[in-house]
Amino acid sequence: MCRNIKTLFNFEPPATDDEVHDAALQFVRKLSGSTKPSKRNEHAFHHAVEAIAAAARELIDSLETTQEPRNREEEAAKAKARSALRFA
């Protein structure tokens, strides 16, 4: 499940709030061991997602680098090439 969490820092255009939320959701799913919480745990699950998304956004916004921003399309192509080699 955590394999789906992508690097969000230093991209042009910057990571969207939806991307940060999706990464937080994947993280909470991994920690909790479930993709959909029970009714009893629904509030705690969603609260954790929102708290982690806020912390992740704060982290991404506060990080600094001297590197040039990465291109999303180029990184996606590299990942696809690695996947093709891995599963060929």
pLDDT digits (tens, 9 = 90+) for 1-10: 456 678 899 9
pTM of the model as a whole:
0.82
Q: What is the pLDDT of residue 83?
A: 87
Q: How many CB atoms lie within 10 A of CB 46?
A: 13
Sorted by sequence, the CB contacts under 8 Å of residue 15 that are 6+ apart come out as 8, 9, 60
Confidence bin at 47 (pLDDT 50/70/90)? very high
8 A C-beta contact, residue 44 and residue 66:
no
| Neighbour tally for 84: CB within 10 Å | 9
